Structure 1
Amino acid sequence: MAPSVSSIKSRPVAVLGAGVLGRRIACTWAAGGWDVRIHDPNDKQRTAALHYIQNNISTYINVTGAMSGNVQAFEDLTEAVKDTWTVIEAVPEELSLKVDTFAELEKAAPKDAILASNSSSYKSSEMLEKVGTETRKRIMNTHYMMPPENRIVELMTDGETNEDIFYFYMERLKELQLHPIVAKRESTGFVLNRIWAAIKRECLTVLAEGVSSPEELDKVWIEMFSGGNMGPCAMMDAVGLDTVKFIEEHYIRDRELSGEKTVDFLKNYIKQGKLGGKSGKGGFYPAGYTTKTRGENTHSHENLHAPSLYMLDLGLNSLSDPLHSGRIVIGSPDGRKLRTIVSGQALPDGLDISLKTGRIYWTNMGIPESNDGTVQSCRLDGSDIKTIIQPGSVHTPKQLIIDQEGDRLYFCDREGMRVMRCKIDGSEHETLIKRGDWRDEKDAANQMNWCVGVSINKKEGKFYWTQKGLSKGGKGRIFRANIEMPEGQNAEDRTDIELLFSGLPEPIDMEIDEDNQQLFWTDRGDPPMGNSLNSVKLSELKSLKEGEKNPQYDILARQLHEAIGLKLDQVNRHIYLTDLGGSVYRCAMDGKDKKRVYEEEFSFSGITLAHV
């Protein structure tokens, strides 16, 4: 028998699996006012799922008019499913894992909880090997497509499911403004996915036989069927070609099909690491093809691999207190309305994020004439703000980056004329480079020694930094040194410092693409060389001697307005840029296809991103 509405009113919903679909399912139920518990053994996935929901729940439909439900994440399955009225399994598509999961749920979940599998390729009847007869009566499939855009949910029996459950569950889904349909009998692929599988199979055959290209095939499909949205090849890229292969293998086994022109064809891409939009190497299309920006039409399967963007607003446009009105704001490549998570900051400049710790880290320059800069940290939702480098320990901190593997922060200190490093909790704070003493009047007046941008290259064992020189002065420089301090030397006398560029307009922030060993930097100096995005291959760099010319470098993009922030999106192979003129831009790694994501009455400084 299905439970009554009154018996589930105060009980939570559990979702097992915090991946792309799991977090969207959780967000859908939370938007409908239900408390939701997410279970995932991976702490990064749990953190990312919670942050996804915080950033996106406003875009999900709330039909109840009530407050959104509370969402929690659990490592322990028993805690996650305690007192729940339904548990939705969204773990990886491995049949043995699903069989074991339902065996665990039989023991841990309430005896009246409805247990649902979100599998798109396995029937729930295949998951019953380790559960008893009574439990089988409350197990079924509820396959969600891709909320919030696509709101179809397919329900299907496990062959023994109590029929009363379907009507009850459909009513709960309709309350969320989802669109449930029930398969009349068990079927591999349910209803829509079975049709979609046939379309994918024939598209792959067309490509394998060389009859058409992905671009041509999608163009025809879009014109004929999808009203200007997304074609089947782009959709397969968005889902992941490895996932498409895995699903097709199940159909092959179930229906004794040939995989010669489907699975075997996909293996050619997968061997090269071309898994689609999630891989950084692309698939049928180049990396980043399915991640759209503001103003572009999007399909439910686009922007699945788009990052969340975190920007610093210096607060200079505040009429009341421009020196203490800095903020951290969160946005996205599609230009969604910016959301403030931290305010009241003293000229924030550089930031980065660690999903491992679930925290954001940023620098506050403070009052430039004072020795009151700080390094701050907070949880991803903006709570629990901590000062990890206290005033007086850093003068005017600028760009900050995280060594994600080594759990260390690197940051430059402009007026302090230093490059510094500390552990992620602020301990072991040390100076790596010291170009002068800010307490010495002569040194303090020499802007040539101001350190601004910093990046590290673990493969090379080096760190890089910029010294911008006078504003618009055309005397900016870029240096590098070893990450490990030479034995017996210190920040003032180390002998491994190399000058790489001199006479640049005014170099600011930088980042290194370690995969391709390429250095990128912004320059806020005068045009045509300044207010630009620039790059050079690290193999082209050598230590400059007096009178030697700079190595040749590429200007990838111009016409920025006081260029500052820079962040590489390695998944989509994009670059995000900020400027003091209030714009956030996105371009390809070669600088082409520059698009404005935001144009605000802000003064943007640092930028970072996270894939959640």
Structure 2
Amino acid sequence: MAPFVKVVTLVGAGTQGTRLAFMWSKLGRPVHLVDQNEKRLQDAVNEIQKLRRDWPVASTLTPFGNIVTFPSLGLIKSIANSWLIVECVPESLALKKRLIGELDAIAQSGTIIASNSSSYTISEILQDLNLRHPERCVSLHSYWPPETSAIEVMGSGSTRSDIIPLLMEECRSHGFQPFHVRSSSTGYIYNRIWAAIKRESLLVLAEGVANPQELDAIFKDVLKSPKGPCEQMDIVGLDVVYDIEKHYCEIRPGLPKEATELLEKMIVRNKLGVKSGSGFYDYSNHK
């Protein structure tokens, strides 16, 4: 049986896992969604149904595939017939390493195991892991599907040569716009560019060159962007932005510390962005 007629399993039913389940079920193929939180699984199913209702009928040539949910205890059963497993758990290196190790131990040898991490390369995740099949592991990083269709495919030095072309083909057929990251890169392609924009924006604020409103206004005016860097960081969450920037500082000595220092001050004051009600902007009236 060709691998792509089998199941795609997503471990983690948060925002990414939910939206990826929608994308991978578009061709009528089954998707398994695994999470330890049963309410999160139900919320994910509800969101997938909404995405399907809103999806243009003309663009769907086949009925959507079935979404089957599993609690974490059903992990072995959920991946038994999977050609691809994607971890979508929170951005913790220790958590991702532990999960990739567990998946490698129980998945069939032909199953591709992918990480959706935005901060850690698959090479970093595999470091010091004694896997049975490290050659089947890759990074498969998406942004905000289906509205943003870009997905980045990145292997490690040991990734099997047939895996990248297969993922590029399958991602494209499921409505993604795949990009091959040709060498190991923390931040992939887009996030490296975006990280530099975020970092310089934070330095502009730390040095008192402009306030968030002014910074965002000039950014949007020049680049015709719908949102500025401060607005974008508030949406992502300043604690998440901090964790990502801290990781860049760890692997690239010499980056300015003022960016993380500004974020630390805001986090201490619970100014995390939209999710806490305030960040660079006030969202107390946006509920």
Provide the TM-score with structure 1 as the length reference.
0.45
Which residue is equivalent to 2:42?
47
Higher relative CO (Cα under 8 Å, sequence separation at least 6) belongs to 2
Q: Distance in 2 between matches of 1:219 and 1:123?
A: 34
The answer (yes or no) to whether the contact 1:120–1:189 under 8 Å persists in 2 is yes
Which residue is equivalent to 1:90?
88
What is the 5 A alignment of 1:402-417? none
The answer (yes or no) to whether the contact 1:32–1:61 under 8 Å persists in 2 is no
Provide the TM-score with structure 2 as the length reference.
0.93
Which residue is equivalent to 1:237?
234
Q: Distance in 2 between matches of 1:89 and 1:141?
A: 10
Return the offset for 1:54.
1.3
Q: Distance in 2 between matches of 1:60 and 1:158?
A: 35
Match of 1:35 among 26, 30, 34: 30
Which residue is equivalent to 2:76?
78
Which residue is equivalent to 2:129?
130
* Structure label with greater radius of gyration: 1
Q: 1:222 to 1:65 in 2, by over 3 A?
A: same
Q: Distance in 1 between matches of 2:40 and 2:56?
A: 24
Which residue is equivalent to 2:258?
261
Q: Which amino acid is the alignment partner of residue 147 of structure 1?
A: P
Match of 1:162 among 160, 168, 173: 160
The answer (yes or no) to whether the contact 2:104–2:113 under 8 Å persists in 1 is no
Which residue is equivalent to 1:532?
none
Which residue is equivalent to 1:274?
271
Match of 1:66 among 53, 59, 62: 62
For residues 77-127 of structure 1, give each alpha carbon's deviation from its aligned partner in whole angstroms, at most 9, with x where no partner exists: 222222111001111111111111011101222221111111111010112
Q: 1:61 to 1:85 in 2, by over 3 A?
A: farther
For residues 139-159 of structure 1, give each alpha carbon's deviation from its aligned partner in whole angstroms, at most 9, with x where no partner exists: 010110111111101111122
Which residue is equivalent to 1:180?
178
Return the offset for 1:61.
6.7
Q: 1:257 to 1:140 in 2, by over 3 A?
A: same
Return the offset for 1:10.
3.9
Q: Which amino acid is the alignment partner of residue 36 of structure 2?
A: P
> Is structure 2 residue 20 aligned with structure 1 residue 21?
no
Richer in strand (by share) = 1
Could you say what secondary structure the match of 2:258 adopts?
A: coil
The answer (yes or no) to whether the contact 1:33–1:64 under 8 Å persists in 2 is no
The answer (yes or no) to whether the contact 1:121–1:189 under 8 Å persists in 2 is yes
The answer (yes or no) to whether the contact 2:119–2:247 under 8 Å persists in 1 is yes
> Is structure 2 residue 216 aligned with structure 1 residue 218?
yes
For residues 20-65 of structure 1, give each alpha carbon's deviation from its aligned partner in whole angstroms, at most 9, with x where no partner exists: 2121111111223221111111222212111111112234578550
The answer (yes or no) to whether the contact 2:206–2:262 under 8 Å persists in 1 is yes
Which residue is equivalent to 2:97?
99
The answer (yes or no) to whether the contact 1:61–1:176 under 8 Å persists in 2 is no
The answer (yes or no) to whether the contact 2:4–2:170 under 8 Å persists in 1 is no
Which residue is equivalent to 1:591?
none
Return the offset for 1:72.
1.9
State the identity as a percent.
38
Q: Distance in 2 between matches of 1:81 and 1:179?
A: 26
Which residue is equivalent to 1:512?
none
Which residue is equivalent to 2:106?
108
Q: Distance in 1 between matches of 2:77 and 2:244?
A: 31
Q: 1:21 to 1:90 in 2, by over 3 A?
A: same
Q: Distance in 2 between matches of 1:43 and 1:33?
A: 24
Structure 1 residues without counterparts, runs of 5 or longer: 1-5, 289-571, 575-612
Structure 2 residues without counterparts, runs of 5 or longer: none
The answer (yes or no) to whether the contact 2:153–2:167 under 8 Å persists in 1 is no
Which residue is equivalent to 1:376?
none
Which residue is equivalent to 1:8?
3
Q: Distance in 1 between matches of 2:51 and 2:281?
A: 27
The answer (yes or no) to whether the contact 2:23–2:175 under 8 Å persists in 1 is no
What is the 5 A alignment of 1:274-313? 274-279=271-276, 281-287=277-283
